[in-house]
Amino acid sequence: MTPDLFYGRPFLHGQPSQALEQLVVFTQTNDDNLCHQSSLDFHVNLTGGRPPLDFIHINKVQYAGSWDNHEQHAVNIFVPAGLKLGDIDSLHIHMQSGHCNDSFLDSDDGWNVSRIAIFAFLAPIETSPPPPPDAPSGCKVAGGGGFCGGVEFNCDGFSAGDAIGVSSGAIGVAVTGTAPGIGLVLGTYRGEGTASVAVCATKAGLTSCGNPIPDVAFGPVSCTGVPFHPPVCPTGLIPCEGTCRPFNDPECHKM
């Protein structure tokens, strides 16, 4: 055969925004060679009249060499810097037949191929890093501090998809439970004293902390006596058995 092949929308995979690093034309000759007098040409049509040219054209892809019968060849095609996969509109391969024995009495070359393939090697897809989570806002310490190893924070509602923690330095606050919809954060602590603390949200390895709450007093970790009842609970909750529970919890209305 004498190839004259046109490929519209030539590539099966990849994103239009990916940078094109390399084009490769692969051929496998069958039972007729491509002699050096013939010219295998490769033409790339670009979209949108991309300056300075709207095409790339390579004459004599085989570089004036001869490709023998039953041989495989892969040729790198020059790609201008900044070219993207979406810039390529179509590809055209054309074989201009020559006289293999340098004689006009010789018949034209008829190259026979069993395979032609064109490969595009692409740069990795560039992805923007995920945004950090929203920092918890409006956070206050219930009761003004920690008592008997426990502490509670009342914040504005936060995302259920965020991991909630408390920055507390040597006090060592560990979060034991949250109610994202009402902004409730329950925790324990291992140190005593006064410290500035902040409630933080973590997602995809990124952390954002709310405004520091200064001078929070943390009392003794072990103590006896009446369990601590916070004087103020978030909207929709009431003090009940040492914590805040929904106002309609039957456990809080036993006679």
* pLDDT, tens digit (0-9, with 9 covering 90-100), for 148-163: 999 999 999 999 999 9
Paired strand residues for 2 = none
Per residue in 17-50, is it b (16+ CB within 10 Å) or e — as a string? ebbbeebebebebeeebbbbbbbbbbebbbeeeb
- Return the higher-pLDDT residue of 206 and 226: 206
Residue 49 has pLDDT above 80, yes or no: no
Q: How far apart are CA 153 and CA 211, in angstroms?
A: 13
The letter for the amino acid at 122 is L
Coil, strand, or helix at residue 97? coil
Which among 218, 199, 213 is positioned nearest to 146, based on CA atoms?
A: 218
Per-residue pLDDT averaged across 83-93, rounded? 88
Please state the φ and ψ torsions of residue 97, each to the nearest 5 degrees: -70, 145
The letter for the amino acid at 113 is V
pTM over 0.75: no
Q: What is the DSSP string of 8-47?
A: ES--SSS-TTSBEEEEEEEEEEEEE-B-TTSEEEEEEEEG
| Residue-range domains of the chain with CATH | 4-122 (2.60.60), 140-253 (no CATH)
Name the pLDDT band for 5 (thresholds 50, 70, 90): confident
Question: Which of 75-84, 132-141, 149-158 is predicted with the least confidence, judged by mean pLDDT?
Answer: 75-84
> Residue 184: exposed, middle, or buried by beta-carbon count in 10 A (0-12, 13-18, 19+)?
buried
